[in-house]
Amino acid sequence: MKTTGLLLFFCVLLTASVQAQTFRGLDKSPMDMAYYPDDYAHDRKFAPDKIKGETAKVRVIYSRPALKGRALGDLVPTGKVWRVGANEASEIKFYEDATIMGKKVKAGTYALLGQANEQDFTVILSSDVDQWGAYSYDPKYDVLRVNAPLKEISEPVENFAIQFAKGDGKEVLMRMAWGNVMVEVPMEF
């Protein structure tokens, strides 16, 4: 009888621990990644012969919230620091030193934050990485602040998006778009 009771106890304990190991569902704002050169990681893995000595210059890891019929101004309020995406603050990694709108940035990893203004968008790089949203944002950790003009785009973007593109000459453009608004941040390596 004692053995049966002990066996029953262990079965209940095992069942309870298995049930406690459930996984949470998918995030409402999926995570994405952008590289320059565009598709660098995919080309390197699946078509290494296409890469001719070109190495990654910059990478952004971010989450992609959707408008879902909501007003952009409600999701990104004017004058308030925003995490540039959803969930954790977006992360930007420079594989080599860069110049962003005339300002030098050392190679490294930074939180990518921003602030929507009436006529432009302030891009903020912070050394305070691994923060949830921008709730703990402290300007004392700012490594860079630049203002880029807001541009209206004709085809709306439902989910927030970041892409890199070749600009003029040596310039690379980091494009961030949501709704009918886009910001282009020029950088050089």
Sorting pLDDT into bands at 50, 70 and 90, what band is 172?
A: very high
Question: pLDDT tens for residues 2-44?
Answer: 555 545 555 544 454 555 678 888 778 889 999 998 755 554 5
pTM of the model: 0.80
What pLDDT is stored for residue 177 in this prediction?
Answer: 97
Question: pLDDT tens for residues 88-126?
Answer: 999 999 999 999 999 999 999 999 999 999 999 999 999
What pLDDT is stored for residue 127 in this prediction?
Answer: 97
How do beta strands 172-188 and 142-166 pair? antiparallel
- Domain segments of the chain: what residues? 27-149
Sign of the C-alpha dihedral computed for residues 62, 66, 70 and 71 taken in this order: positive
